[in-house]
Amino acid sequence: METKTFFTFLPSEACGTEKTGNRETMKIEAITKENLPRCRELILPYIYEELENYEGDPAAEYICLQYNETGENGTAAPVSALIMLMEPEGELAILSVYTLPEYRRQGYASELLAKAVFVARKLFQFDEGANEEFIDLKAVYRLTDEYRTAFEAFLKINGFTDFYLIDEEDAPQVWAAVAELRFYKTQLPGNNS
């Protein structure tokens, strides 16, 4: 039986998840160079500048997603954003994640993280002969205790198990968290040769 992997998967193809209920329609979309300015307030300033000044398509190195609320006039306003770096050695790093206060604790950031990992799995380049790989998903953060507690709760909910104090000299302290992911090659349907 031949096993093949998908390598030509664009982040925009992973988008389209809608969340409806007692609120407006919510939708995940890719952050592109064209819509990056409307996400400015949801992305750490130095990460925003890096994306803004990136030569070419940021999707070559980053997974950039936003959760939008579509208003009555039909325009989409971002309420949550996540930027993830796909490192050359195959690891993933959360660079920025933020949800507007009125939309917190509703799962938007967790859904963006899940969608980003889904995209990363589709883009992953397996070693020759490998059918599975263990990948580290990392986050490095410097937050005051109040925000660190909330951020670590988010990370724990999303599978992070290892937390490390990196720098205790500075205030606030620098921490890192790691979640181990297992990526599998995907067999194409109907290919039984």
Return the CATH number at 57: 3.40.630.30
DSSP 33-91: TTTGGGGGGGS-HHHHHHHHT-SS-GGGTEEEEEEEEE-TTS-EEEEEEEEEEE-TTS-
Name the pLDDT band for 133 (thresholds 50, 70, 90): confident
Q: Output the pLDDT for position 185.
A: 67
Percent of the chain with pLDDT over 90: 39
Taking the complete model, does pTM exceed 0.85, yes or no? Answer: no
| pLDDT for 148 beyond 80 | yes
Domain count, the chain: 1
pLDDT tens, residue by residue, 8-45: 223 334 444 444 333 456 789 899 888 899 999 999 99
Residue 179: domain span = 11-184
In a domain, 135, yes or no: yes
- Mean pLDDT over all residues of the chain? 79
* pLDDT above 70: residue 58: yes
User: 160 in a domain, yes or no?
Assistant: yes
What pLDDT score was predicted for residue 9?
A: 29
Mean pLDDT of 71-88: 85
In a domain, 48, yes or no: yes
Per DSSP, 159 falls in state T
Average pLDDT over residues 134-149: 89
Is residue 49 included in any domain, yes or no? yes
pLDDT at residue 77, rounded to an integer: 87
pLDDT at 172: 79
Would you say residue 189 lies in a domain? no
